[in-house]
A and B are shown apart, each in its own frame.
Chain A
Amino acid sequence: MNSRILPRVLAGPGLLDRRPLTYAQHETNFASSFRTTNLLQELEKSGLTGRGGAAFPTYRKAQLIADQHSRVKYVVVNAMEGEPAAHKDHTLLATNPHLVLDGAAALATAVGARLVSVCIPREAAATINHVERAIHERQRRSNTGPKFEVQTPPGRYVAGEESALVHWLDDNETLPQFRVVRPHVLRIGRHPVLVDNAETHAHIGLIQRYGGDWFRDLGTADATGSTLVSVSGAIRNPAVLEVALGTPLHHILETAGADTSPQAILLGGYGGTWLHGDHVNTPYDNASLAKFGASVGAGVIMVLPKQGCGITETLRITKWMANESARQCGPCAFGLPAMAEDLAHISSASRDAVAAIQRLYGRGQAIEGRGACRHPDGVVRLVRSAFEVFQPDINRHAKGQACAAAATSRYAPVPRLASESDLVWE
């Protein structure tokens, strides 16, 4: 496969045909006579980082588990995709599930694991179907290699968080765990677990066939390879694209068919950062985005057009994120709803708006870093970036002049709570 053409993980007839490739099609599609024997070395050469949001170097994570002295180890494919604005993992599994399974199998063999768990939210019936069929196809063909299974936790936002996912596998509750020391080896019982995002596994599958040097032929020196992005917001049909890291953002927006001169763009995820529309030429990679405090994150690109209201969107997202809190820790359980209330004052330009702005600053500082997981930190980061990017608008709201879109702006895909029962935690 030519190293400079896209798509890579989405390559093949799957997208166009809207059906996943069969094993035979998959083998033809990704034909290669080369199969690396030292996957960890190739991973190191490739510079692949996690595609789930944290961008941790994949080979280091794998090496940590490979170095564990345990007869039993597990590999987990994290396809939970709790971000409402992200669809890339589901699209990937609906297109090239075998590539993901390839990567998982290769990784499992490399670190010494014999069981691979593919974790898919139980509400995603179609994806579960695709993966189960793919697993059956593989089982019919050969009995060697690691065993696969599908696990289906409830699709809450924090369920995709590593420690919460492993805790669910261990003890049936999607609750993030308090980790004293990082890097921390996650365990099910006493057995170490290696958790990676589904897209990361797909890239591993390609690296296994084409090598680490092939992988880094795309992208930049620090941000190698390609990545999947989910574009939503001011776009006719929300799209999933595969882009080379380092591509300028406006180019991505153009290809996706989104508004190319937006007011702002939400990058990373709902715990991510707003980027001002003026910087739409920024290359899409962590080093370039870091200048604006943003990051690639989970590949979410949510476009806010000029006729939207950034504060209202931030409010909608914060309310939803507050509800998605596991409510284990006081600062998150109480702090996030409090921040949502303050944002509501600002959004509606009420008389309390000025005081609310002051309170928000203080609360953001108080809440940050005081939860067991990074959920509250993400929301604080989002709100802070909103204050920077939408400063003029916030000033007007504070003076009582809400913008025209304040009441109606609805660009960020935020799920609506159907009923109280959605609040029940499992």
Chain B
Amino acid sequence: MIDLTSPYLWYISRATGSVSLVLLTLVVVLGILTANRVGGKAVGRFEISELHRMVSMSAVIFIALHVVATVIDSYVPTGLISSVVPMTSSYRRIPVAVGAVALDLLIAVWVTSLAQEKMRNVTWRLIHWLSYPMYAAAVLHGFLTGSDSHQRWWLLLTGISCLVFLGALTWRWWQRPSRADGRTALSPLPGSGLSTQSTRRARQVDRPVPGRKRY
């Protein structure tokens, strides 16, 4: 590979990393607002959904910059492979691995969302749920990589982002919409009660059960 290095690459890598975290937080919050059906009066629900899509595009761009800057900087011996395959980096194996996991999950979510119309909604939704562990992996990656993690501004930034994330998660659960509990609603969140009886999540089966008689 080209023997390219420059302090600026390193700064870009760290800066884009932090910005990505902020953008990811924003994306996840917007996604949660969409799922909980927020809006309809001052702001349209579809507007929140569109915002979610657009900010996620920005987040993907910044994450791409972050990965590229890190990979091409030969001062830090992480190659392209180790950015997607965990535990293959000779430099700071665990932190980079966690980042790779986050990146893998992000790619899965992103690609399936681009091809959303081509796949079953259930499949898309299951993979989209991976955004939560992806966020957690991204934050962990930031902590472990440690370039800025001793700086107060960084701790404050990440701390607030995490609080926002956890708060949004809690709110997501607490204010989940009562829904028709259909089979395609393969969400682990049960519906919050119909008027004459509560519904319970039944066995989620969208593939043939082994052992059942088949033709």
Contacts and interface: CB of A to CB of B under 8 A. Distances in A.
The answer to whether A and B touch directly, with their CB atoms under 8 angstroms apart, is yes
Contact of A173 (B183, B196, B213): B183
A333 interface: yes
Interface in B186-215: 194-200, 202-203, 205-209, 212-213, 215
A172 B182 contact: no
A319 B180 contact: no
Contact of B196 (A151, A172, A340, A424): A340
A115 interface: yes
Nearest to B204: A173
B205 A341 contact: no
Interface stretch (A77-85, A301-309, A322-330, A393-401): A322-330
A173 B200 contact: no
A65 B200 CA distance: 38
Contact of A423 (B184, B200, B207): B200
A341 B196 contact: yes
Contacts of A175: 183
Interface in B50-100: none
Given A115-B215, A172-B209, A328 B182 contact: yes
A327 B213 contact: no
Contact of B181 (A115, A171, A172, A333): A333
Given A115-B215, A420-B200, A171 B208 contact: yes
B197 A323 contact: yes
Interface string A315-345: 0000100110011111011100110110000
Nearest to A328: B182
Contact of B195 (A172, A338, A417, A425): A338
Interface residues of A, number: 33
Contact of A334 (B194, B200, B212): B194
A188 interface: yes
A316 to B, nearest CB: 12
A329 B196 contact: no
A270 interface: no
A330 B194 CA distance: 11
Nearest to A168: B212
B181 A327 contact: yes
Contacts of B196: 319, 322-323, 337, 340-341
Contacts of B207: 171
B213 A423 contact: no
A74 B199 CA distance: 35
B208 A341 contact: no
A189 B215 contact: yes
Nearest to B202: A425
A142 B210 CA distance: 32
Interface in A182-198: 188-189, 191
Contacts of A327: 180-182, 194, 199
Contacts of B181: 327, 333
Interface in A31-46: none
Interface string B143-168: 00000000000000000000000000
Contacts of B213: 149, 151
Nearest to A191: B215
A137 interface: no
Contacts of A323: 196-197
A222 interface: no
A414 B198 CA distance: 20
A143 B76 CA distance: 75
Contacts of A27: none
A426 interface: yes
Contacts of A425: 202
A334 B202 contact: no
B195 A329 contact: no
Contacts of B202: 424-426
B197 A329 contact: no
B199 A423 contact: yes
A334 B179 CA distance: 8
Nearest to B215: A188
Given A327-B182, A330-B180, A337 B195 contact: yes
B188 to A, nearest CB: 16
Given A341-B195, A424-B200, A329 B182 contact: yes
A203 to B, nearest CB: 27
Best-buried of A169, A326, A333, A337 by chain B (most CB within 10 Å): A333
A420 B206 CA distance: 23
B183 to A, nearest CB: 5
A172 B199 contact: no
B215 to A, nearest CB: 6
A420 B196 CA distance: 12
Interface in A148-187: 149, 151, 169, 171-173, 175
Interface of B: 179-184, 194-200, 202-203, 205-209, 212-213, 215
Interface of A: 74, 115, 149, 151, 169, 171-173, 175, 188-189, 191, 319, 322-323, 326-330, 332-334, 337-338, 340-341, 417, 420, 423-426
5 closest Cβ pairs, A-B complex: A333-B180, A328-B182, A425-B202, A337-B195, A337-B196
Given A169-B215, A172-B212, A333-B180, 16 more contacts: A171-B208, A172-B208, A188-B215, A327-B182, A328-B182, A333-B194, A337-B195, A337-B197, A338-B195, A417-B197, A420-B198, A424-B202, A424-B203, A425-B202, A426-B202, A426-B203
12 contacts: A171-B207, A189-B215, A323-B197, A326-B182, A327-B180, A328-B182, A333-B181, A333-B194, A337-B197, A338-B195, A423-B197, A424-B200
